[in-house]
Amino acid sequence: MLRPKTAEEIELLRWNGDLVSRTLAEVGKAVAPGVTTLELNNLAETFIRDHGAVPSFKGFEGFPAALCMSVNDVVVHGFPSDYVLKEGDIVSVDCGTFYKGYNGDSAYTFPVGEVDEETRRLLDVTKASLYKGIEAAVAGCRTGDIGHAVQSYAESFGFSVVRELEGHGIGREMHEAPGVPNYGRRGHGARLTDGMTICIEPMICAGGRGVYVARDKWAVHTADHKNAAHYELTVVVRKGKAEQLSTFDYIEKNSMIKF
């Protein structure tokens, strides 16, 4: 059942959205060559718990960490590890929180030091495609309108869209209906209603759209091992314009963070 959230529920989702946004900024300040993804994970877990919430990813279906840390050709769901970030890498940081019965979820792909021109373009286009999707998250439209907006924008730059993974509703559960694909046709899919809360999260590949799951049964890699980028925001569907519950402002207005 695609139930709109009450005003009280939206405020709890907003609180979680703000915390995941601030957590991503804390991680962003520490992203640099020579840092391990496990160090970044531990920093985030401490920050989340210090603010009275718990990292919702940790233990979810057996996932072992507070963050998904996905480097270069890993699209999503990478494990934090002793991998040392190098100049020119990119790392997708996906963060979830749980506070007072509700969830927060957001992701950002950070460059590590300076990246090449094609990688820079991948990051910029993927993030822009997310905002195109948000523009389509209006009451009366459908999930296919969001997917079409993401897909048509990303593909116009020669990039490809992962089909096997998608965004989702969010509330008491981390993943609720409806599914929100990053591809589709206008006028198709679940109808969006005022007060519905969803996560839109383009996963865009520099090369082909084929992916495979690693032996750990979590990390999703591009089949051609070219880079992928991933950005995610939580929004409330509204009649005129979607309302963001998470934000990249803490990252992009902080001069200490490379983005």
Q: Quick one: how far is CA 194 from the chain centroid?
A: 22
Residue 22 domain flag: yes
| 258 in a structural domain | no
Residue 117 counted as domain residue: yes
* Helix residue spans in 31-175 (DSSP H): 37-50, 117-135, 143-155
pLDDT score of 114: 97
Do the Cβ atoms of 66 and 57 come closer than 8 Å?
yes
Q: What is the pLDDT of residues 26-50, one digit of tens each?
A: 999 999 999 999 999 999 999 999 9
| pLDDT tens-place string over residues 111-169 | 999 999 999 999 999 999 999 999 999 999 999 999 999 999 999 999 999 999 999 99
The residues, any chain, with a CB within 8 Å of residue 23's CB and separated by 6 or more, are: 44, 47, 48, 95, 97
> What does the pLDDT look like over 158-193, one tens digit per residue?
999 999 999 999 999 999 999 999 999 999 999 999
Tell me which residue range forms the domain holding 183: 7-252
What pLDDT does 3 receive? 85
Question: In 146-157, which positions are buried (b, 16+ CB within 10 angstroms) versus exposed (e)?
Answer: bbbbbbebbbee
Cβ atoms < 10 Å from Cβ of 164? 13
Give the list of residues 6+ apart from residue 59 with CB closer than 8 angstroms, or none. none
pLDDT at 7 over 90: yes
Return mean pLDDT, the chain: 97
CATH of the domain at 206: 3.90.230.10
- Domain count of the fold of the chain: 1
Distance (Å, rounded) from C-alpha 208 to C-alpha 206?
Answer: 7
1 band by pLDDT with thresholds 50, 70 and 90: low
Q: Which amino acid is at 241?
A: K
Total-model pTM? 0.98
259 occurs within a structural domain: no
Q: Report yes or no: 186 and 138 within 8 Å, Cβ to Cβ.
A: no
Could you read off the pLDDT of 187-238 as tens digits, one per residue? 999 999 999 999 999 999 999 999 999 999 999 999 999 999 999 999 999 9
Alpha-carbon distance values, 3 to 11, 14, 155, 170, 238 (Å): 16, 17, 32, 11, 14
Per-residue model confidence as pLDDT tens digits over 58-107: 999 999 999 999 999 999 999 999 999 999 999 999 999 999 999 999 99
Mean pLDDT of all residues in 5-15: 98
> Is residue 257 assigned to a domain?
no
Q: Return the H-helix or E-strand segment holding 67.
A: strand 67-71
* Tokens representing residue 241 in the block: 């314009």
Of 133, 236, 109, the closest CA to residue 183 belongs to 133
What pLDDT is stored for residue 85 in this prediction? 98
Radius of gyration of the chain from its Cα atoms, rounded to whole angstroms: 17
Q: What tokens appear for 223 in the block?
A: 């089949």
58: tokens are: 């940790």
